[in-house]
Structure 1
Amino acid sequence: MSQIKVAIIGCGSISKHRHLPEYVNHEQVEIVAVCDIVEERAKETAETLGVEAYYDYEQLLTNPEIDAVSVCTPNYLHAPISIAALKAGKHVLCEKPMATSKEEAEQMIAAAKMSGKKLMIAHNQRFVPSHQKARQLIESGELGKIYSFRSAFGHGGPEGWSVDGKDSWFFKKEQAFIGAMGDLGVHKTDLLRYILGEEFVEVGAFVETSAKEGADVDDTAVCVLKTESGIVGTLAASWSYVSKEDNSTIIYAEKAIVRLEDDPVNSVIVQYKNGEVVKYELGGIQTNESGGQSSSGVVNHFIRSITEDLEPAITGEEGMKSLQVVLAALASSETKQITKI
């Protein structure tokens, strides 16, 4: 069984809590290098793992030993680093949102095609058991026609999670490009596209900065979305949910209401029209709260796509479609009009 040699670019919280532990626990992976522009951080991570430290990603990419990289940097660097890595012949697992514009996303997709390497976007919500169950229920026709949905993703903000706390890049527009909508909202646009099996065609949104003083990005957004078949619903993304994280989705259908991650024990609750209630205990969703760091499934899937030469579940194209919904929401908020995608 050949080992996939992996490097991680960006040694902040997402790499520390998600990518690194999942690579370390994967028997087919050998981490060979890490990179961060904050030298201290790169050194510390490299020492812990007993691997090489780099402070410049371009230098890291010249290392012929590296097969694949995880891009765990601030949002504005996702595209340039991913493109450089693909051109250097490395497979790429890139954090979300994949890019800051449709043009950037298209360049990433083109680079993956040219290089023949895998490009996967780390939308982990698709791998959550409750979400996979909901997709099956909808796909099988068991719920009948889907009418509407309501989805939220919110917590107290990245300062409780990011390595830089209140000074985090998450709050700085030139590095983050968007706030809660990019951090959390894009997870949900991807999830809803996945569960419903449809594309969104129109968005209306209010995207505000109300909770975080000194932030020049959004911290609270509410969107109304419409799919091609006419399913309408709401998506909220926020850093202003001050107590418990909310990561719930509710689907309203002809024959039942399905509640996902809305109950602490039963991750799926199906409330049928005839009064019957079915509960599924499928294991919880990943949270940023302590003890919530089970495997997200993302790294396992990425490595499998390389070793078995499969198309990743979340390709660049998929990542771009989920990003476009967010870009349309921003446009809607600015123009005060419904935006077509």
Structure 2
Amino acid sequence: MMNKPRIGVVGTGGISKFHFRAFRELGVPVRIVSDLRKEAAEPYAREFGAEYSSDWRRVVSHPDVDVVTVFTYTAMHYEISRAALENGKHVICEKTLTLDPVQSLELGRLAESRNLNFYTSYMKRFFPASQKAAELMPRLGHIMSVYCRTYQGQGGVNCHSGQIPPGMMPQPDGSSWIKKMAGGGVLICGGSHIFDLLLYLVGKPVSIDSRSFTRKGLDIDLMHHAIMDLPDGGVVHFEANWHPLKRIGYQGRGWDEGFEISGVNGRLILQTPVWNEPETSPALLRYYDNDAETWTDFAFPVVNPFIEAERHFIGQIEQGIQGPQDRYTGYRADYLLEMARRSAVEGKKLPLEWVV
């Protein structure tokens, strides 16, 4: 069994703070931190007694690093992750894995061929409510329908027909900041988590028929709807929306995200809190048992799923096993995202042909 794996971090933007907190709480040694912005990286380097470099290549080749963690913009994930794997490092990468499912599949295969651990950090799997939902799924029997959504409030800003926020506007080079950062709009930024949870809880759909709304003058989608067929006849209804409704959702904060899964033997209702404030409320889960004709409301503690995800990934690396989340998690979400986008562009239903 490996001692605490030594970490090298690439990218110290906003999302990295959740991961650094996990490293702090787990007592994981951080050996090197890299970001082009020295002022963003140095506080973490000082805290962990780590080296700083402006060049990510120093991280992936560092002799005292066992695991490379990638928290950069999605556009950089492929190059960094590939280089890390080629240098014999395990990899934990933020979602979405890459901008191209072909590249995501390639990374999974490379990691498998080198017997290296490779994780895409879809942290919403690590809410206790999500894990309990996965445990209860077999009790539902044949799945008839799934309703899943991510309605992400924009603080009352009506970007659909009102004033467009500056961050959504194309820059002088023709591309918006969001497009550069994530590769797309609400489908990728929000829908990726829902697609991953769909795959985790329900499994792989066999076809997808999507519609998307991109406002004139923008290069990102503001709304996306899809209907997916399940192998045994069930139907998935998906929607993602950057909306102006201030008080919807169970927290009353404009964030309305979750699942309603109906099987012939019961129903599950899962709701997740605002992504960047996960410790304000627990994720919620209700279960209806049709045989008993009873509802169960589960009470879960408030947890930070970023910490729980890192705890799991690092624990698996210590044990020398990949564990239940395989190397192709990121690929599957990226493939479903790409097919949703293509279906919307082509305006037709498309078959889903899963490689793994």
Fold shared, TM-score > 0.5 on shorter chain: yes
Q: Does 1:148 align with 2:148?
A: no
1:279 to 290, 297, 302: 297
Match of 1:20 in 2: 20
Distance 1:19 1:215, change over 3 A: farther
SS in structure 1 opposite 2:137? helix
Match of 1:338 in 2: 349
Aligned ranges 1:53-202 → 2 under 5 Å:
53-139=52-138, 142-156=139-153, 167=167, 171-196=177-202, 198-202=203-207
SS in structure 2 opposite 1:155? strand
Offset of residue 249 of structure 1: 0.8
Number of aligned residues: 322
SS in structure 1 opposite 2:95? coil
Q: Does 1:256 align with 2:266?
A: yes
Which amino acid counterpart does residue 154 of structure 1 have in structure 2? Y
SS in structure 2 opposite 1:316? coil
Aligned ranges 1:301-340 → 2 under 5 Å:
301-340=312-351
Match of 2:276 in 1: none
SS in structure 2 opposite 1:200? coil
Which amino acid counterpart does residue 276 of structure 1 have in structure 2? T
SS in structure 1 opposite 2:328? helix
Contact 2:68 2:91 in 1 (8 A): yes
1:217 to 196, 220, 233: 220
Contact 1:143 1:253 in 2 (8 A): yes
Whole-angstrom CA distance in 2 between matches of 1:266 and 1:64: 40
SS in structure 1 opposite 2:29? strand
Which amino acid counterpart does residue 187 of structure 2 have in structure 1? M
Show structure 2 runs of 5+ residues with no match. Answer: 158-164, 169-174, 247-252, 274-280
Distance 1:117 1:4, change over 3 A: same
Which amino acid counterpart does residue 193 of structure 1 have in structure 2? L
Moved more, 120-129 or 239-248: 239-248
Distance 1:272 1:205, change over 3 A: same
Moved more, 50-59 or 40-49: 40-49
Offset of residue 143 of structure 1: 2.2
Contact 1:203 1:338 in 2 (8 A): yes
Moved more, 18-27 or 149-158: 149-158
Q: Does 1:226 align with 2:229?
A: yes
Contact 1:82 1:94 in 2 (8 A): yes
Whole-angstrom CA distance in 2 between matches of 1:302 and 1:170: 33
Whole-angstrom CA distance in 1 between matches of 2:245 and 2:319: 43
Contact 2:9 2:69 in 1 (8 A): yes
Which amino acid counterpart does residue 240 of structure 2 have in structure 1? A
Seq. identity, %: 23
1:205 to 204, 210, 214: 210
CA-to-aligned-CA distance 1:87-135 (integer Å, 9 cap, x gap):
1111100111111112211221232134321111111122222122222
Which amino acid counterpart does residue 327 of structure 1 have in structure 2? E
Offset of residue 189 of structure 1: 1.1
1:267 to 271, 284, 289: 284
SS in structure 2 opposite 1:121? strand
SS in structure 1 opposite 2:149? strand
Match of 1:290 in 2: none
Show structure 1 runs of 5+ residues with no match. Answer: 287-292
Contact 2:123 2:305 in 1 (8 A): no
SS in structure 2 opposite 1:304? helix
Whole-angstrom CA distance in 1 between matches of 2:166 and 2:41: 21
CA-to-aligned-CA distance 1:229-256 (integer Å, 9 cap, x gap):
2221212223325532122111112132
Contact 2:26 2:311 in 1 (8 A): yes
Whole-angstrom CA distance in 1 between matches of 2:9 and 2:323: 19
Contact 1:122 1:298 in 2 (8 A): yes
Offset of residue 215 of structure 1: 4.8
Whole-angstrom CA distance in 2 between matches of 1:99 and 1:266: 27
Tell me the C-alpha RMSD between the 2 structures: 2.7
Q: Does 1:300 align with 2:311?
A: yes
SS in structure 2 opposite 1:239? strand
Distance 1:295 1:319, change over 3 A: closer
Whole-angstrom CA distance in 1 between matches of 2:307 and 2:66: 21
